[in-house]
Structure 1
Amino acid sequence: MAHEQHAQLIQTLHDCVTACNHCFDACLKEDDVKMMAECIRLDRECADICGYLEHAISRNSPFVSELAAVCATICEACGTECQKHDHDHCQRCAEACFKCAEACRSVA
């Protein structure tokens, strides 16, 4: 089963979704939400693709490696954006995104 083979990746994807969703929510509460717009947008993109890849793995999709490549690219972009902001939630999100990008590249 692919989902058993990729159990660690599934957990890493789940952790990234959680970090991105937390960052997204926290960014919306920042004083200068407009300044956080790109971070918010990429948090959504990243959480969505990570969640989709998690589901694709669990159903043994034949496109896992292709989706993982796209996921790595989006995670990297989100991590790079979040890293620009000093907020703790952004820094934690960046860390989760970079870890996820690395895990996805190993499958892509």
Structure 2
Amino acid sequence: MYQKNVGAYYHLGLSQAMVSYSIHEVTEALNQRALLEKYIKFPKTPIEREIISKRFVELFGLPGVIGAIDGGTQVAIIRPVEDEEAYLNRKLYHSINVMAVSSIHFQI
């Protein structure tokens, strides 16, 4: 449904097919082995998962958790010259949506 809505939004000038193609291309790019190995780390053993789970309990009282997803936030940006309306959020300022997935171990 999301693809159809975005594709139907005439200000963007994208068809549903182009939205689908773009999602596929971005997903393929993000799934390149070099990117996955550098930026995405999952606990590989039961011991690693147990250690991480215990830290979530110690710090936040959340049992059975080995990772967290941020619900997202709007980061304000300077109004873009092109496609300005695509960056106007529901609170009527220009922004991009940022989401994060993290373990208990924060690495940069």
* TM-score, shorter chain, exceeding 0.5: no
Structure with the larger RCO, 1 or 2 (CA within 8 Å, 6+ apart)? 1
Question: TM-score scaled to structure 2, two decimals?
Answer: 0.27
Query: Which one has a bigger Cα radius of gyration?
Result: 2
Structure with the higher helix share, 1 or 2: 1
Question: TM-score scaled to structure 1, two decimals?
Answer: 0.27
